[in-house]
Amino acid sequence: MPRLPGLVVTDHVFTVPLDHSQPDGPTIEVLAREVVAAAKVDADLPWLIYLQGGPGGASPRPMSASGWIGRAAKDYRVLLLDQRGTGRSTAVTARTASSRTPAELAAYLRHFRADSIVRDAELIRAQLSPDKPWTTLGTSYGGFITLTYLSLAPEGLKTCLITGGLPGLDTIADDVYSRTYPRVRAKVEAFYQRYPEDVERVRRIVDHLRDNDVRLPDGDPLTVRRFQTLGLNLGMGDYAETLHWLIDGAWDDGELGAEFLYGVMERTQFGTGPLFSVLHESIYGQDDRPTNWAADRLRPAEFDGDAEHFLFTGEMIYPWMFDEIALLKPFKEAAELLATATDWTPLYDVPKLQANRVPVAAAVWHDDMYVDAGLSLQTAARVGNLKTWITNEWEHDGGRASGGSVLDRLLTIAADLPPA
């Protein structure tokens, strides 16, 4: 059991079915990292399982008894789940793709949505906390998983806490992206208002990329549209500053400098966590309605680079990424099969959610670039025993950026709700 400042960490590895409907079939491994305050190692603490954002995001790696983990460890034994396909769980990588045909790979990846993650969690709970429900803390996509959990196995839940992650219950990818693009534009315009000098700086970079074959350090082409994806994190608290300073230091004697190119590569390297790209629209797959590259189809013409201010894009995945990003190329055909799939299993049981009795406290970020507040509030009105806290005090990463204060607020809200 390694000891960090104020914490004791224990890794648990579980073998789970790839397909939970075939418990005797192929298996994968899922890592769950237990974190407990050093002074409470032997205490009989309730469990809190953290559901990471994504899709395809590994759990945070604890460093010390600070931030939200330090706050949670005051009252809970915290479980940081590397969701299937991520981190030290059986990972999905380019090597995964190379050993399967496109059809086999697409079929394999369909087992990495929220319903499978929930069933993994229930198998883990049966071993770590038998006969005792636990508390969940879900951020962003982790909130989506939470509502799937409430739909499939509410008996495993004592309390649910959500930050910036209430999905539309019956919306499809088209509904999501038609609402997302205007919010992305607003974030980009706010960025330029904060840093007006970057309007011309960005335009100079774009013109250079159009006229030259620029390569990133890994050999991938730096095209205008790859550069444009730097807007992905503009909905996070301090990313505007990160982007500004990257642009500020872009040039080296008339050419784009090495530091800039490395920075762009690191921030647009979608292939290092391919589940994020390959499954991004699949998390909105509903019944017989294909996602069909919704972000690409619904992309407004103003994002093609001819607007008064060059517009960065946000949390959107486009087909061209599977041609231009080397680590995504092995997933190209499988991604196309997933985009055209018309047989998605439902992720939310609306009648069960309406009758829900598990206390749910949800923070809704009013100006969230990623999860539409309007859709979140529509969902909140349809889920029983759920109370929202609506605020523009934080951006999408408020649960992390606030230290423990957001978690404190949610725990207080949940304590005032009727117990299950």
**Catalytic annotation, residues:** 140, 343, 396
Q: Which run of H or of E encompasses 239?
A: helix 239-248
CA proximity to 88, closest of 30, 2, 49: 30
The sign of the CA dihedral 153, 51, 276, 233 is positive
Distance separating alpha carbons of residues 217 and 317, to the nearest angstrom: 22
Structure tokens at 4: 């960090």
* Cα-to-chain-centroid distance, residue 319: 19
Instruction: Provide the 10 A C-beta neighbour count for residue 262.
Output: 13
Residue 349 and residue 294 in contact, taking contact as beta carbons nearer than 8 Å: no
What one-character-per-residue DSSP string does 270-322 give? GGGSHHHHHTTTGGG-BTTB---SHHHHT--GGGGTTSSSPPP--S---TTHH
Q: How far apart are the first and last CA of the chain?
A: 34
Given its phi and psi angles, is residue 251 left (phi above 0), alpha (psi -120 to 50 degrees) or beta?
A: beta
Helix runs in 158-215, H state only: 173-194, 198-211
Distance separating alpha carbons of residues 363 and 164, to the nearest angstrom: 6
Residue 72 and residue 37 in contact, taking contact as beta carbons nearer than 8 Å: no
Side chain identity at residue 164, one-letter code: G
The CA–CA distances, whole Å, from 393 to 111, 209, 252, 413 equal 36, 37, 38, 17
Residue 199 and residue 192 in contact, taking contact as beta carbons nearer than 8 Å: yes
> Can you list the pairs that 323-329 forms with residues at least 24 positions away whose Cβ atoms lie under 8 Å?
324/220, 324/221, 324/223, 324/226, 325/220, 325/226, 325/269, 325/270, 325/271, 326/218, 326/219, 326/220, 326/271, 327/94, 327/269, 327/270, 327/271, 327/272, 327/274, 328/270, 328/271, 328/274, 328/277, 328/278
Distance separating alpha carbons of residues 253 and 167, to the nearest angstrom: 47
Q: Mapping DSSP to helix (H, G, I), strand (E, B) and coil, where does residue 399 land?
A: helix
